[in-house]
Structure 1
Amino acid sequence: CVSNQNKTQCKCENQHVWSSEQCSKHGVCGPNQNDTCRCIASLPTVGTLCRPPP
């Protein structure tokens, strides 16, 4: 995750994505590619990791 100017972005790498639950809970940063959520706008729930797309 990257934090600057009171903004946090948590991005997934290598085509991994956040669960839809995390996306709706934390909000999405930037445009979604192919309707997937690769970046959320705050720190995820503890223990939550990016996962391979379905």
Structure 2
Amino acid sequence: MTVPQHDERWRKSTRSQNEGACVELGSCGAIRDSKNPGGPRLELPWQSLIAAVRDDHLSR
């Protein structure tokens, strides 16, 4: 489902400490760079993101 960007609610991690390396999660499953809120967004099913984190597929 595509939601207009102005209707999306974004949430930043409470562990974010303004060090410039944060992402935000949107209310409809999108992910964006908090430093560039108007930039590109990654949209994927939540289950895929959770599985990637759980299986340690997201490394620096």
TM-score, normalization by structure 2: 0.22
- Report the TM-score, using the length of structure 1 for normalisation: 0.23
Query: Highest relative contact order (Cα 8 Å, sep 6+), 1 or 2?
Result: 1
Structure possessing the higher radius of gyration over alpha carbons:
2
